[in-house]
Amino acid sequence: MKKSVIKLMMISGLVLTVFGCSDDFINEAPESGFQTINQFGEIAESNPDILSGFIEGVYSNMYTTGTGGTTGHDDFGHKA
């Protein structure tokens, strides 16, 4: 019984190793966390609502006090 369980685990591991690593499952990580101008253009063409939501989020963050901390240089609501 113990040997059959070990064999089953080894066969399962081998099958997962051989068939589990296809190119479909490998996602390349982006080089940076920033979007380029071209990427914003592609986003706007595919779904304009995403871009307008991004702009609304930036605008609301600029006038909400305490969002970046009260002593940060980017807390526009506090120091502007």
Q: Are 15 and 9 in contact (CB under 8 A)?
A: no
**Residues 52/57/60/61 CA torsion (nearest 10 deg):** -150
CA 37 from chain centre, in angstroms, equals 18
Q: How far is CA 27 from the centre of its chain?
A: 11
Note the pLDDT tens digit of each residue in 25-44. 566 666 667 777 788 888 88
- Helix (H) and strand (E) counts in the chain: 4, 0
* Residue pLDDT, tens place only, 2-28: 888 899 999 988 888 777 666 655 666
Under DSSP, the state recorded for 34 is P
18 inside domain: no
Which residue range forms the structural domain that includes residue 55? 33-64
Residue 42 belongs to a domain: yes
Q: Is residue 52 part of a domain?
A: yes
Provide the strand spans (E) within 1-80: none
pTM exceeds 0.95 for this model: no
Number of structural domains the chain divides into: 1
Q: Report yes or no on 41 lying in a domain.
A: yes
